[in-house]
């Protein structure tokens, strides 16, 4: 069983949880939605990536961790050419050792104008530390 974490964000109008926690494991999915108004933050890929990663940061903190606890990230982009802008902003949020990441180009996302969606997994207490193995 898992717990749904309240981030204080506007709840989704679809049957989905933004962030869940089971023990010290956290799963979180985000788009470029303003956390207070629920409005999509549209614009270029850097703007959308920044808002999406800010949302991820809020969620992981609400679960009791930091972005340093994130071990895996899946990025869904609508345009392959957006990868450079996404990487530029991504590097503002994640430092070495970087989480494992897959970046996938998809045909479209569910909301008009949306260019990025991010799914992340975190292990709380990990904080980017080597396991010692």
* Closest alpha carbon to 8 in 42, 32, 47, 34: 34
How is residue 33 annotated by DSSP? B
Confidence of residue 102 (pLDDT cuts 50, 70, 90): very high
Q: Does residue 7 have a pLDDT over 90?
A: no
Strand order, beta sheet including 25-30: 3-4, 19-22, 25-30, 116-123, 70-77, 100-105
Q: Which pLDDT does position 129 carry in this prediction?
A: 54
Q: 89 in helix, strand or coil?
A: helix
pTM listed for this prediction: 0.89
Q: Does residue 38 have a pLDDT over 90?
A: no
Q: Which pLDDT does position 16 carry in this prediction?
A: 73
Q: Does residue 132 have a pLDDT over 50?
A: no
- Superfamily of domain 3-123 in CATH is RutC-like (3.30.1330.40)
For the chain, the structural domain boundaries read 3-123
Q: Which pLDDT does position 2 carry in this prediction?
A: 84
Q: Which pLDDT does position 20 carry in this prediction?
A: 87
Q: Does residue 131 have a pLDDT over 90?
A: no
Angle made by CA atoms 128, 130, 133, in degrees to the nearest 5: 155
Encode 100-123: b = buried (16+ Cβ within 10 Å), e = exposed: eeebeeeeeeeeeebbbbbebbbe
CB 18 within 8 A of CB 28: yes
Confidence of residue 4 (pLDDT cuts 50, 70, 90): confident
Q: Does residue 133 have a pLDDT over 50?
A: no
């Amino acid at each position: 069983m898992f717990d749904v974490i309240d981030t204080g964000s506007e709840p989704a109008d679809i049957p989905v949880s933004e962030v869940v926690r089971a023990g010290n494991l956290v799963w979180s999915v985000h788009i470029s939605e303003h956390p207070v108004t629920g409005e999509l933050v549209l614009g270029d890929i850097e703007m959308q990536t920044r808002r999406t990663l800010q949302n991820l940061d809020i969620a992981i903190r609400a679960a009791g961790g930091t972005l340093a606890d994130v071990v895996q990230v899946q990025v869904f982009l609508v345009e392959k050419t957006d990868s450079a802008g996404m990487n530029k902003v991504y590097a503002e949020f994640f430092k070495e050792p970087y989480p494992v990441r897959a970046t996938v180009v998809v045909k479209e996302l569910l909301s008009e104008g949306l260019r990025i969606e991010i799914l992340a997994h975190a292990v709380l207490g990990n904080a980017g530390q080597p396991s010692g193995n």
